[in-house]
Structure formats: structure tokens, C-alpha cells
Structure 1
Amino acid sequence: MDKISKIIIKPLEKSIYLKPYTMHFTQNGSKRTWDLLTVHDSVAIVIYNTTRNVLIFVKQFRPAVYYGSIPVEDRKGEGEVDIQKYPPENGITIELCAGIVDKLLPLEEIAKEEILEECGYDVPINKLEKIGSYCSGVGTSGSLQTAFYCEVRDEMKVAAGGGVEDEIIDVIEMTVDEVKKYISQNHIRSPPSFMFGILWFLYNKKE
């Protein structure tokens, strides 16, 4: 993971991924409003390497997680963040391999592409097992994420992974025991989809 420095917060600039809205509605006779965002749907994949009995994850810096780690009283509307007081490591997460649905392709095709780009494994589409779909970010976006499971072997690794273009992603491996220890912590720097995928794996594929 590259060293992160000079973090500056600014008001929202033009975005091709986020579109903010305010919804007005009447519920039980009362008028209400709710701010929301529209974002792309996504896929996430639980990857298990059967050659060495390890789960494959990605680690990356998430600006929103970093910003959320700063106490409210120290958050500035804009300006440079004191990274000595709030180290960038606070924004580094462990996640399932995942990606947005921004192409008119079957979800399995997009999942296959993400596995190759982020983790370096070339997985046949027929080896992807669909786990299910669920709402993500219900308070702000309500986007749909679809989870898959696949098993890989060392000989299926054809690239280093790490993402494409401006992505900076580290591929990490954890044994089942290491994953169990990780999710038993009081503070887990991973999204709910990670927890869902791991618990699904432990319940359905542990043996």
C-alpha cells in the first residue's frame, strides 16, 4: 500500500458516480424529506484458494472510512487534515474483491473481470456460484450488490492483480483461523458485505 500524504477536504466536486437528491414524501399523514444518493450497483466475490486453503481479499485506502474515523469536532468543512494526529492507516480496509456494475454485461461477466483485475485469477464463469443480492447503503443509496463465491487454484493466477488505472489495491490472503480471529475483534475495518460473505462461507463451505 503506497504511502498516503497531504489529505485535503473540499466541497463535493463534479462526480460521475454520485448523484445527490432530496426525496419529499408523506408518511402516516406527516410530510417528510430524506437526502439520498444514486450510485452504481455492484458485485462482490468470496474467493477461496484450495491449493493453500486461504481466502483471498483486497486491502485499500477508503477516503470515506478515513474521514469517518476523524471525530466530528475535528472535521473541517474543507482544508488539509493533520495526518500526524489522524494517520491514513485509519482508512485502510480489508474487503471482498468487488466492483461496480457500469457495463451492460451479465453480473457473472463483471465478477469474472473484477477477480482478474483485482486479484489476478482467471476464473471460468461456470465456476462462479451466485450467493444472492441485497441492498447496500440503505440509509443513503439503496444500491443493489450481488455476491458470488468461487474456488481458485494457484495455477489459475495469471496476473499480479491490484486493480486497473488509478486503483491502488493490495491482494492479501488469510487462513480460515485468521479470518475468524479478525472478525472477532471489537472494531472491524471492513464493510457489512465482507462480514456477510465470510459468515456465508463459514456456514456453507467451511469443510
Structure 2
Amino acid sequence: MSGQTQEERNAVVRKKMLDLTNIKVGPLPEDSPWLRPARISFMQDGKAKNWDVSRIHDSVAIIIYNTTRKKLVFVRQFRPAAYYGTLPEKHQDVDTKQYPPEAGLTLELCAGIIDKNLPLVEIARDELKEEVGYEAPASAFEKILTYTDIAATTGRHTHFYVEVTDAMHTHPGGGDESEGELIEVVEMSIPEVLEYISSGNVQSPPGFLFGVMWFLSKKRDRYA
């Protein structure tokens, strides 16, 4: 494993993440591998209605607690969707001076899409190793729940909880470079997490908030 500290690795990743050029916003191609949009038309209570939806990949997410450091372990990435939310609703070339790429950085749970024919816990194990560098046996994972999106997108998402130690940190993490992933590994103490979610400026998806609240509800007394 590299002799760099986590902070040094994160600094390298951050520089690469924010090296964005030639950003363009255009229409969604019909053959998108990530979103499969459709319009549902139906009669309800005698009235004609339409609803636009999109099917997305099912996924797993992992709530990680390092018992050696007494820290929760998260990831930070550049998410085009988060960045898109800061842009005007029109097709355009994007000026990164007017719309800094930092607006697309999000703090999240370690997670990944289900794109292999494997048990979900094995996919979670792979993501744990690939994104944050820890190896843990399947027996260490506790399944929390599976839920389904109920808004404009639909997909099933499964949350796990796992406790790790420094001895289990055998890889640098940071994602799969061959797939172009750029991921920072972020450790936060319980007070730091509480400060973040109470800050009024939470740049994180709902799954992250659920994971944090679950941990605080179920595990906080054990590690306070």
C-alpha cells in the first residue's frame, strides 16, 4: 500500500476531481445505460393522468464504523447530478468560473450498483475494499433494510452495517481507477457527524442521512 497518508491521497484525488473542462449539458440519449426513462399513462378515478419515471440500477450502501479510530467512514465524490442542480435548466456549455465544480462534491456512504450476479453482501464487501480499502468477512456485515425509490426514479437499495479496525485496512481505497472512479475517504467522529447534519448545509443524499441516523439511534450509546 502507498506510504501516503489519507490526507495526501485525498488531496491528489480532489485535484483530479475538480479538473473539469469542456462541460456541456445536452439531451439524454435514448441508449443511456444508467437511466431508462418512460412515461406512464393511466386513468385514476375517471381522470387521465401521466407520470414521467426512470428506472435506475439497484445498489448497496454500507454504514462503516472504525472501532480503532472511533470514526465513521464515508466517501466524497464529484456527482454530476449534484452539480447539474446548480445550473440553469437549459442545454449549454458550462463556465466553471461561474459554476465552480466544488458544487458537485457530495459526502456519501460507501456504495455501489448491483451489476454482478453475486449475493448482495459480497457486492458490499467488494465496495468496502475498493472504495475505502477495508477487507471484512461476510459475517461482519449486518443487513439493515432494503427500500425502493418512490419518486421519479425507481430502484431497490440495500443498506448494510459493518465494523472495521485499522488492521483490516489493507488497500488505499479511492475507487476503481480502471473505471475512472475518483473517491476521497473521509473519517468523522460522532461529534463531527452531528455538527455536519446540523449545519443546515448538507450536501449528501437521503441514503447517507438514513445511515447516519440509524447509527446514532442503534450504535451511538455503545461508542459515545
Tell me by how many angstroms 1:100 deviates: 0.6
Question: Residue type of the partner of 2:171?
Answer: A
Tell me by how many angstroms 1:76 deviates: 2.5
* CA offsets 1:43-66 (integer angstroms, 9 cap, x no match): 100000000100100000000111
Question: Where does 1:113-192 land on structure 2 (aligned, <5 Å)?
Answer: 113-136=126-149, 138-164=150-176, 165-192=179-206
CA 1:76–1:152 in 2, change beyond 3 Å: closer, same or farther? same
Which residue is 2:4 aligned to?
none
Q: 2:75 aligns with which of 58, 61, 64?
A: 58
Q: 2:46 aligns with which of 29, 35, 40?
A: 29
Q: 2:28 aligns with which of 2, 12, 35?
A: 12
CA distance in 1, matches of 2:173, 2:43: 48
SS in 1 for 2:85: helix
* CA offsets 1:54-105 (integer angstroms, 9 cap, x no match): 01000000001111022xxx3322x311211111101100000001111111
Which residue is 2:100 aligned to?
87
Q: 1:44 aligns with which of 51, 61, 80?
A: 61
SS in 1 for 2:153: coil
Q: Is 2:211 the partner of 1:197? A: yes
The unaligned stretches of length 5 or more in structure 2 are: 1-13
CA distance in 1, matches of 2:107, 2:19: 17
CA distance in 1, matches of 2:161, 2:201: 25
Tell me by how many angstroms 1:109 deviates: 0.7
Which residue is 2:6 aligned to?
none
SS in 2 for 1:69: coil
Tell me by how many angstroms 1:10 deviates: 2.0
* CA offsets 1:10-43 (integer angstroms, 9 cap, x no match): 2223321211111111111111111111111111
Which residue is 1:68 aligned to?
85
CA distance in 1, matches of 2:174, 2:153: 27
* Runs of 4+ residues over 4 Å off in structure 1: none
What fraction of aligned residue pairs are identical, expressed as a percent?
49
CA distance in 2, matches of 1:178, 1:104: 37
The unaligned stretches of length 5 or more in structure 1 are: none
Q: Which region of structure 1 is more displaced relative to structure 2, 166-175 or 5-14? A: 5-14
Question: Residue type of the partner of 2:161?
Answer: Y
CA distance in 1, matches of 2:20, 2:58: 30
CA distance in 1, matches of 2:41, 2:118: 34
- After TM superposition, the score normalised by the length of structure 2 is 0.87
Which residue is 1:101 aligned to?
114
